Structure 1
Amino acid sequence: MTVFLIPLLMIAGLISCGVYLLLERNLIRMLLGLLLIGNGINLLIVTVGGPAGSPPIQDRESVGKTTIADPLAQGMVLTAIVITMGVAAFVLALAYRAYRLTTVEALDNDPEDTRVSRLSIREAAAPDTDPAEPYPDTDEPDELDALPGRQGSR
């Protein structure tokens, strides 16, 4: 059995860089780490799959090749590529969502915040007794606060 040193060093480099990037707290770096680990694992599968050979098709032979290439390794790599792209799309969606939530957007003054800011300290401390609100918010639990199936667990 011949050991190919260069692919093994490439695998070790890709996976170690991927793990380092995966340990960062930035989602984009985590995505790059996942991609590097995925590519390292794909290279590992191809390397372990054995030497190159004739295509795994009946009555097809390559010049100078006496063995047939292992189709399982090729199929596993194709599946791993699809899974890696799905994970990459998911992490990109998470990164986009985090970006949208953390960036400052132009917000107008909220009318309720403006009303509360004009109240005196005594009015703000008093319980809300707005007649327009049919269900005043109290600290007591009521049926709207309970989860389904937990009625009567007061």
Structure 2
Amino acid sequence: MASDPAHSRFTLDRVLPGSPAHAFRFWSDPKLKNLWAGCHPDWTEREVRHDFRIGGHDFSRLADPMGVEHEVDIAYLDIAVPDRVVYSYAMRVDGKPLSASLVTLLFRPHNCGSLMRYDEHLLLLDGSDGAAAREIGTGHGFDRLEAVMAESLAAMS
């Protein structure tokens, strides 16, 4: 018998350098997204696809150093350039469903930069309470996003 899924929600706000349009590009342009979104440099890419449009999908299958495969399948539900992205995503480990999420991503002008608000409704299908780890991991990704964006603005100066 499968364990009961755990529901969770978290919101992360980040003030990013540059305009909302600049921040939006780091989600919509596959080359820019790849600069910050990969969280495990020691993992091997098996398959990666990007299709950033309403109805499009991003998909990645990576293998960790032990050979365990991790899949992320993103479906874009709504995109309003440069203000909003709404997407769902599912994660699997060695083909077994791990989680499903609905994410709303907003970009707003804020002082000399942009406020990015990330709101995730998370369903952990394996019965674990890994929501805190997901929030921490997402935050680490946004640390990388902020650094990469700052580097790109410095290079443009």
Alignment TM-score > 0.5, same fold:
no
Task: Compute the TM-score of the two structures, normalised by the length of structure 2.
Answer: 0.27
Structure of higher CA gyration radius? 1
Task: Compute the TM-score of the two structures, normalised by the length of structure 1.
Answer: 0.27
